[in-house]
Structure 1
Amino acid sequence: MGFNEFKNRNISEDYVTVQEDNYPKTSWEVFKQVISRSVKGELFVGLKITFGIMTRALFKGEMATVQYPKEKLPIGPRYRAVHKLLRLLESGEERCIGCGLCEKICIANCIRMETKIDENSRKVATQYTINMGRCIFCGYCAEVCPELAIVHGGRYENASEQRAHFSLKEDILTSADGLGAQLEFDGFGSVSKDADKKIKKTPLSY
């Protein structure tokens, strides 16, 4: 193959140029082409579907869209969203024992905690922050926690105007008033469903 033949890439005789001679040349031909393409059956089929959905939405109340944020779609039970710090159901104290395993295992390096010994000689976390801007929601912190203190809840709305709002302990800690609505997650150390039936009176030795 010579150099000129190499530069000419259209060396095959089997090429067919699509619609080479069908382009409209006058305004009347453009108008006829638009009309011929618009009056096909596909257009009316699409309009039929659109008007059917609009009629059901206006007169039958069958809305196809979700009116967010007034309406929200259900979330799966295993959905992992914004973290939650849980409390003990018996005393209301925080479950976190300040072991620091969640901070060490975090691959995004977004968890920070400071601990101290309280008046009850119990190690507690004085500051516990999670940078939601860095968190990848892998779930390692919840899996490694020996006390089920940190879990992933169902709250997925964490938009804010300031980055400082992404890491406040007060936002993810269960309030003392809302302890009755706290959901228990299955796992090591969690309260079983038949825990009340298993409670027995302590036998006395006298």
Structure 2
Amino acid sequence: MSGLEQFKDRNVSQNYYKVKIEPYPKTGWEKFKRVVKRSIKLELFVGLKITLMEMLRFNIHTIQYPKEKLPIGPRYRAVHKLLRLLESGTERCIGCGLCEKICIANCIRIDTKVDEFGRKIPTEYTINFGRCIFCGYCAEVCPELAIVHGQDYENASEQRAHFALKEDMLTPLDKLKEQKEYPGFGAPTPAADKLIKKTPLAY
């Protein structure tokens, strides 16, 4: 056959291998004979063998949470973090309000003021985690890489309105050296450390 002839041939059952299927037992005696037959052939013990081998290995696959925690992927969108400038320690946030505007869950609230240096800074920054869907838009749109998704995913609360204040998300000054640059949404490129150190210290 050539061309489309092989596809037009409807006799497709010529190369099939027919499986011999025993008729389903109807009486109790036939069911009993089938159980004995399968037991003698050791079909029952094939699955038990695998179970026994796993038991003898003594491999514990259970994670003892919260003492043990699985590593989180670098692009995992967990609780937000507000970062500081590495060289001066000032807040990266310039109060542009893009994160508040793009938030589709309408859970970000930001109030700003102008400081003595003429720089616009946020006075209040809150995120309602009861409404937040952790989409990552706020971190993706931030021009200063001020807000990112951190690695803290334990944000359960007994309150319906679970807010995170700026003081809770902002990196403390005494832990500035421990600040991580997350390779997920809103994080610098791997070679950004060299570029950040070259930025001016005036602000």
Question: Could you tell me the TM-score, scaled by structure 2's length?
Answer: 0.69
Alignment partner, residue 124 of structure 1? 121
Which stretch shows the higher mean deviation, 173-182 or 158-167? 158-167
Alignment of 1:28-39 (within 5 A): 32=32, 36=36, 39=39
Change in 2 beyond 3 A, CA 1:54/1:188: closer
Q: Is the 8 A contact 2:98 2:138 kept in 1?
A: yes
Is it true that 1:108 corresponds to 2:108 in the alignment?
Answer: no
Once the two structures are TM-superposed, the CA of residue 188 in structure 1 deviates from its matched residue by 8.7
Alignment of 1:1-206 (within 5 A): 22=26, 24=28, 32=32, 36=36, 39=39, 41-57=42-58, 62-185=59-182, 192-195=192-195
Alignment partner, residue 10 of structure 1? none
Distance 2:123 2:37 in 1: 71
Residue identity in the other structure for 1:54: M
Distance 1:32 1:80 in 2: 57
Once the two structures are TM-superposed, the CA of residue 182 in structure 1 deviates from its matched residue by 0.9
Distance 2:93 2:168 in 1: 16
Once the two structures are TM-superposed, the CA of residue 162 in structure 1 deviates from its matched residue by 1.9
Distance 1:146 1:33 in 2: 75
Alignment length (residue pairs): 173
Q: Is the 8 A contact 1:158 1:166 kept in 2?
A: no
Distance 2:94 2:57 in 1: 56
Q: Is the 8 A contact 2:130 2:161 kept in 1?
A: no
Once the two structures are TM-superposed, the CA of residue 139 in structure 1 deviates from its matched residue by 1.4
Change in 2 beyond 3 A, CA 1:157/1:92: same
Once the two structures are TM-superposed, the CA of residue 32 in structure 1 deviates from its matched residue by 4.3
Q: Is the 8 A contact 1:111 1:131 kept in 2?
A: yes
Identity within the alignment, %: 66
Q: Over the residues paired in the alignment, what is the CA RMSD in angstroms?
A: 3.3
Change in 2 beyond 3 A, CA 1:144/1:47: same
Change in 2 beyond 3 A, CA 1:198/1:146: closer
Which stretch shows the higher mean deviation, 163-172 or 188-197? 188-197
Deviation digits for residues 148-199 of structure 1 (CA, Å, limit 9, x no counterpart)? 1001122222112223444333332212222111112567977723349869
Once the two structures are TM-superposed, the CA of residue 112 in structure 1 deviates from its matched residue by 0.9
3-state SS in 1 of match to 2:140: helix
Residue identity in the other structure for 1:56: R
Once the two structures are TM-superposed, the CA of residue 45 in structure 1 deviates from its matched residue by 2.5
Residue identity in the other structure for 1:22: K
Once the two structures are TM-superposed, the CA of residue 142 in structure 1 deviates from its matched residue by 0.9
Deviation digits for residues 55-82 of structure 1 (CA, Å, limit 9, x no counterpart)? 222xxxx322222222222222222222
Distance 1:37 1:99 in 2: 77
Alignment partner, residue 13 of structure 2? none
Structure 1: stretches of 5+ with no match in the other structure: 1-17, 200-206
